[in-house]
Amino acid sequence: MNEFLRQLSQAYPNDYILLVMDNAVWHKSRTLEKPTNIGFEFIPPYTPEINPIEQVWAEIRKRGFKNKAFKTLDDVINKLQEVIQRLHWSLLKPIVHRNWLFSDFDVK
């Protein structure tokens, strides 16, 4: 995470970047080095409707992991890769699109 923040900060040195994040432990780690041109805002806990990736993971589970047991971690990884590679943008767009987000930024 530190490397990502460092590179993001260096890529946009004249901008202030506000990252909206979930409450993952690594987003709040004491060892996190936050550059001065990056700020954090955290979504409330237990609000999957605000975090579109939660709906994407639900779709992935539905398409490849529902009622399945795997013998090895490699089997899980291979299935995950297979499911993700078959996800088309036309399926993902309605899952992750949020009208309220785009209305604030006049983006379609």
pLDDT tens, residue order, the chain (108 aa): 899 999 999 999 999 999 988 888 888 899 999 999 999 988 888 777 777 788 888 899 999 998 889 999 999 999 999 999 999 988 888 887 777 666 555 555
Per-residue model confidence (pLDDT) at position 93? 84
Q: Strand pairing partners for 21?
A: 42
Residue 85, burial from CB neighbour count under 10 angstroms (0-12, 13-18, 19+): exposed
**Rounded Cα distance, 105 and 99, in Å:** 10
Q: Are 50 and 43 in contact (CB under 8 A)?
A: yes
Token pair of 66, please? Answer: 């529902």
Q: Are 5 and 35 in contact (CB under 8 A)?
A: yes
Per-residue model confidence (pLDDT) at position 35? 96
